[in-house]
Amino acid sequence: MQREGKLLVISGPSGAGKSSLINEILKEIDNVYFSISTTTRAKRVGEIDGIDYFFVTKEEFEEDIKKGLFLEWAKVHGNYYGTSLKPVFKAIEEGKLVIFDIDVQGNSSIRERFKDITTSVFITTPSIKELENRLKNRGTDSKEIIQKRLQNAIEEIKRVDEYDFVLINDDFQKAKEYLLAVAKSAKLKLSKNEIDSFIKEWKSTSNKKV
């Protein structure tokens, strides 16, 4: 049976360790595509098209908006940013596992479009106090930004019931193993079309002589 690609949505508050965990599983999962954003801003020194962002013109971006080819998009300081569905569709056709690092709103959008091929996991810390400690210890944000991130986390945690799995990142190695297991399971998930195809193929063998 020919398998189509699957989607793995990973969400969680800033500071929970999503990026580090994703980087680890990308090293161990074959035939995977990590979804990156598309933008109309100019390429910066050292950035590579298709690695850091997909860089397109304003006209191309707006045309794809009209065609409904963005999962989500926004205009920031005169430039467009968004998650294009074109590379996602291509990866699905190629049978790849598409991984998204996206917020709870993005998870809802993906579920609406790709419900039967999507697996989702929400990664968080054991408590909001632990999240606050991690944000402070990494030393990259001001007090105001940390408070904003914590408030966002409080709102996000209210929607964990929308996810297939909740992963508590209190031990990085264990969290990595669990996320890897979820990723492998996501690849095995069958869409309705695949199930129908499998049943048809399976039944057709019953008419053949053994």
- pLDDT tens for 160-179 read 999 999 999 999 999 999 99
pTM of the predicted structure, to 2 decimals: 0.86
Is 1-31+96-202 a CATH 3.40.50.720 domain?
no
Rounded Cα gap, residues 125 and 110, in angstroms? 24
Calculate mean pLDDT across residues 84-108: 93
Q: Is 108 helix (H, G, I), strand (E, B) or coil?
A: helix
Spatial CA neighbour of 121 closest among 9, 24, 18: 9
From-to residues of CATH 3.30.63.10 in the chain: 36-94
Give the pLDDT confidence score for residue 207 in this predicted structure: 59
Give the pLDDT confidence score for residue 163 in this predicted structure: 97
**For residue 8, which phi and psi values (nearest 5 degrees)?**
-125, 115
Rounded Cα gap, residues 103 and 120, in angstroms? 11
The 10s digit of each residue's pLDDT in 108-123 is 999 999 999 999 999 9
The 10s digit of each residue's pLDDT in 74-91 is 888 889 999 999 999 999
The 10s digit of each residue's pLDDT in 18-76 is 999 999 999 999 999 999 999 999 998 999 999 899 999 999 999 999 999 999 898 88
Instruction: Mention every residue, 6+ apart, whose C-beta is less than 8 A from residue 205.
Output: none
* Domain topology for 36-94: Guanylate Kinase phosphate binding domain (3.30.63)
Rounded Cα gap, residues 189 and 24, in angstroms? 22
